Structure 1
Amino acid sequence: MNSDFQAVRENLFPASHGAIEDWEAFPWHRDRTNRIQAHKAHSSQAIAIDVFGTVKMSTDRDRIFDAIAARVGVAPGGPWEIALEWTDTDRLLGEPRPTQVDALAVGSKAALVIECKFTEPGGKCSQTVVLRSGERQCNGGYADQINPGNGLRGRCALTGKGIRYWEYVPKVFALDPAVDHTPCPFKADAYQWMRNAVLAAALGRHHKLQAAALAVFADHPSFPTARKAKRGPMDPALGGQAAITPISYQQIIAIACHVGLDQELWTGLSAWVDRKVAMAASRKSEFQEV
């Protein structure tokens, strides 16, 4: 194993290593020089693997995910299968580049779409970015407009491209797609949380399962992402505020400690995650999240 992978292994909780079947093929987050970023203590991908990779490999997996399912309001029932860095290869939302989530957990009755954050905010919609021409494909509102990039008229530039978010938004967020919403209700980082919520709805419909989206975060008073997650990652004015359930890594490990049989494992993981969170909190001004 090359030195990059050795550094990554050293930054991952040992019990999670087996969750990565092919270290070369795994979709690692990389920087502009193509170097894997999971060797860094503040890596968002690494802490997600720490927790969900360990749960995946544990004999307590079904107990833990049954408890998480009950907490977020979907039916428990294993066996639970967990995929790390899961991609919607069925393109249920019609995306040219399908959504990739940090983890997907599928049981016999429910599916959980899991997006993980350390301290970084959620992703934003690219349609409002200024093009080389100086124009934007979207003016920032869900309102009748023409996309200067392709000349198509509509309320959402993404809908004009065949992306099916607004096929699910009305039910998930109780929004009328036939009226204007200005500014767009999914501006800023609400966009990423919306994508995960509608992906969960699409998966549930396609596989005939109950489904929910989780916003998993590292909890610390100095992390803005944690404070926002605990308030609710979506605008409280949205009818579908409950479409995304926030839950911290610490809460997940507490659930594992409560229902799991391997107490030594979960105590060790708790200390590992606490150390990473404390380190990020003490040096967060130096870090750029990866």
Structure 2
Amino acid sequence: MADDLTPVRENLFPASHAAIGDWLIFPWHRDRANRIQAHKAHSSQAIAIDVFGTLKMSTDRDRVLDAIAQHVGVAPGGPWSVTLEWTDKDRLLGEPRPTQVDAFAVGSMAALVIECKFTEPGGKCSQTAGSRTGKPQCNGSYTEQVNPSNGVCSRCALAGKGIRYWDYIPKVFTLDPAADHAPCPFAGDAYQWMRNAVLAAAIGENRKLQAAAVAAFADHPNFPTARKAKLGLIDPRHCSSKAAVRPVSYQEIINIARQVGLDQELWNDLSGWITQKIARASSRRLAASSPLD
């Protein structure tokens, strides 16, 4: 049975709809039962499409992305393109399943790797969880260890599988790949931010562009990513003087668009939409007995 996309459309800002293209084959986020989740009030994919889908289709796209690029510390310069749910098909990091980011913006001088959060924290590394052998593939530290699943000895179970995160980590973070680190510096949700930071570095190197990893988040005290951003904890520890991940709230992005854009009606309407969506998600989170997904 085909998915009913009507509630998804209703949960997306109207000006973003044209950014989807073919709604039937778009890579919607799904639950374990394979049901699309973008109709939910707290859907991180939906709010990402609201903002970056609208930006993709706006005649203000180049001027707004130039301003965002300057805000996060990379060079402006259009024309800019925006891809929603972008996948690294070049497999620059050697991942069997390449990282998919919520939005990817490319200009003539720079690229932005954009991970979007709403009510949820960042993702964690799967190697410390149980595997098919019933044992974790990593003990939680970056130290020499044997992966019980494949018998490979390595400081990082992912590196032992040929995944190149630690090829780029020394270029982004002040960490020695030949030294032990206990616990792993990328335990918890620092893992997802590290992965986006090294992907940005790999893209910049491959395409000869300045590149930045951006954490786009809904700014509200009830949301974990927003709380970390306010405390300066989004950026993984051990980073160099230049931030590895630049947090920018949706509200900031829209304010930038208001400052430099010409279509003030569009950005004012989007601002109201996002404000209401954040308020609804916050109320739902407070009412829930457990954290939202």
TM-score, L = length of structure 1? 0.96
The aligned residue for residue 112 of structure 2 is 112
How far apart are residue 31 of structure 1 and its match?
Answer: 1.6
Say whether the 8 Å CA contact 1:30–1:37 is kept in structure 2.
yes
How far apart are residue 185 of structure 1 and its match?
Answer: 0.3
Counterpart code for 1:129: A
Question: Aligned equivalents of 1:131 and 1:17: distance in 2?
Answer: 40
The aligned residue for residue 234 of structure 1 is 235
For 1:4, what is the secondary structure of its paired residue? Answer: coil
The aligned residue for residue 98 of structure 2 is 98
The aligned residue for residue 131 of structure 1 is 131
The aligned residue for residue 208 of structure 2 is 208
Counterpart code for 2:18: G
Question: Aligned equivalents of 1:241 and 1:222: distance in 2?
Answer: 28
Say whether the 8 Å CA contact 1:43–1:289 is kept in structure 2.
no
TM-score, L = length of structure 2? 0.95
The aligned residue for residue 246 of structure 1 is 247
Counterpart code for 2:214: L
Deviates more, 1:96-105 or 1:34-43: 34-43
Say whether the 8 Å CA contact 1:235–1:241 is kept in structure 2.
no
How far apart are residue 222 of structure 1 and its match?
Answer: 1.9
Say whether the 8 Å CA contact 2:219–2:249 is kept in structure 1.
yes
> What RMSD in Å do the two structures reach over aligned CA positions?
1.5
Matches within 5 A, 1:252-267: 252-267=253-268
Q: Work out whether 1:16 is the aligned partner of 2:30.
A: no
For 2:143, what is the secondary structure of its paired residue? Answer: coil
Which deviations, in whole Å up to 9, do the C-alpha atoms of 1:14-37 show, x marking residues without a partner? Answer: 000000111011000112222111
Closer/same/farther in 2, CA of residues 144 and 93 from structure 1, 3 Å limit: same
The aligned residue for residue 87 of structure 1 is 87
Instruction: Kindly tell me the number of residue pairs found equivalent between the two proteins.
Output: 289
The aligned residue for residue 198 of structure 1 is 198
Question: Aligned equivalents of 1:235 and 1:25: distance in 2?
Answer: 34
The aligned residue for residue 184 of structure 1 is 184
The aligned residue for residue 161 of structure 1 is 161
Question: Aligned equivalents of 1:160 and 1:74: distance in 2?
Answer: 33
For 2:150, what is the secondary structure of its paired residue? Answer: coil
Say whether the 8 Å CA contact 2:213–2:245 is kept in structure 1.
yes
Which deviations, in whole Å up to 9, do the C-alpha atoms of 1:142-181 show, x marking residues without a partner? Answer: 0111111111111111111000000000010121101001
The aligned residue for residue 147 of structure 1 is 147
Deviates more, 1:7-16 or 1:125-134: 125-134
For 2:86, what is the secondary structure of its paired residue? Answer: strand
How far apart are residue 120 of structure 1 and its match?
Answer: 0.3
The aligned residue for residue 35 of structure 1 is 35
- State the identity %: 71
Please list every run of 5 or more consecutive structure 1 residues that lacks an aligned counterpart in the other structure.
none
